Amino acid sequence: MASLINVIKLAMLSLALTTLTTYQATSIKNQLHPLILIPGNGGNQLEARLTSDYKPSNLLCKLYTNKKDKDGWFRLWFDPSVLLAPFTKCFAERMTLYYDPILDDYCNAPGVETRVSNFGSTQSLLYLDPNLQGITTYMASLVESLEQIGYTDGENLFGAPYDFRYGLAPEGHPCQVGSTFLDDLKTLVEIASSSNGGKRVILLSHSLGGLYVLEFLNRSPLAWRQKYIKHFIALSAPWGGTVEEMLVFASGSTLGVPLVDPLLVRDEQRSSESNLWLMPSPYVFSKKAPLVITPNTSYSAHEITRFLQDIGYPEGVHPYITRTVPLVGNLTPTEVPITCIFGSGVATSETLFYGDGGFDKQPEIIYGDGDGTVNMVSLMALESAGWGNKTSDKPIKVIKIPGISHTSILKEDIALVAIIGEINYVNSINAISVLKSG
């Protein structure tokens, strides 16, 4: 009889502990504000489909595509075939954008349709190629860390992937792809809030995603921001562009992908509207600081138009002047609390020296401070613009993490601890105020 009572007591204790654990987990989840991840340049999968209008440059490109689904869609980014020289050209011509001066907008190559899959989910942000998870990991570690504190994909955690080749344009200029993304992001914010009891949303961006979010907030009515946005956390945001982009336009860049000839992807990289957006901003970089030096001349951030002409890309001058320059000058406070988290103390391209071989050769580089991709002056641009002054009712918070690079901020433990710590703090603000009022 005594043993039966003990068994019953143990069963009741186990049930009580299970109920308490479930209650605690539910309680923690109920305190979390919904969170949306906005990736950086190249930070989500991109799919394509070829139509009868597609005119490949050679027979190989006509015959080759990645594995298609029943409707003809295949993964364009990331496609491991780019590593093989014969296929690099096929990849580049399918990724290339074209600026139409009559429409004043960018579009895909003829016969190439593109789409972003799994909008609203984090799935296409985890790995750029799910079959090569080990070498194409992007936000998987960050998402795992968020799940450990109670976030769940599709419930209170969402992803906002986009076609990162496109950018945005200032008022008065059409921008179909970029504007559609902003509309979709607005809808996602409202859905995330309403499905979580009306809680305001935390926006967490990486790299280029920060520029999109800044524009998104400034283009949204103040009353809407106050109703729906809790906080904006920007990781490694290139507020003022990067010197690295001048190398991309001049000589092409493999972006760390081995075996790729940068000259084979240079034209495609030049065609990217977002790459033009990421050029060093004349509003952030000094007019006196030469960023590119050749035997005959030099170029600062205030001489980008001459630089584009001299590297052999004159077609980039008009969209740069009319669409990019007005955009990069708009570092307007959003009246939304913002936290900037980025690495420092990592060698970052500061001055590029080209010899007699011209721009077809990779330059010698003098390095300065930054996160390995974005220069410190760009990472600090919002604070330098006065966002952190004492008169602001929405001050900026800056967290520097020594030794953390532009991409390792999404993976390294020390960075993830800082990011999760800030998210926990943002989530606790409301809970603390509720306790005080009670």
Residue with tokens 């200029």: 173
CA-closest candidate to residue 404, choices 342, 339, 348, 340: 342
Where are the strands (E) in 195-238, listed by range?
201-206, 229-235
User: How far apart, in whole angstroms, are the C-alpha atoms of residue 264 and residue 57?
Assistant: 13
User: How far apart, in whole angstroms, are the C-alpha atoms of residue 203 and residue 271?
Assistant: 29
CA-closest candidate to residue 65, choices 56, 74, 78: 74
User: How far apart, in whole angstroms, are the C-alpha atoms of residue 210 and residue 236?
Assistant: 8
CA-closest candidate to residue 174, choices 74, 220, 106: 106
Residue 206 burial (CB count, 10 A) = 26
Please identify every residue annotated as catalytic.
207, 371, 406
What are residue 115's DSSP bridge partners? 47
User: How far apart, in whole angstroms, are the C-alpha atoms of residue 299 and residue 284?
Assistant: 15
Q: What end-to-end distance do the CA atoms of the chain give, in Å?
A: 48
Classify each residue of 27-50 as buried b or exposed e, where b means 16 or more C-beta atoms within 10 Å of its C-beta: eeeeebbbbbbbbbbbbbbbbbbb
Q: How far is CA 266 from the centre of its chain?
A: 21
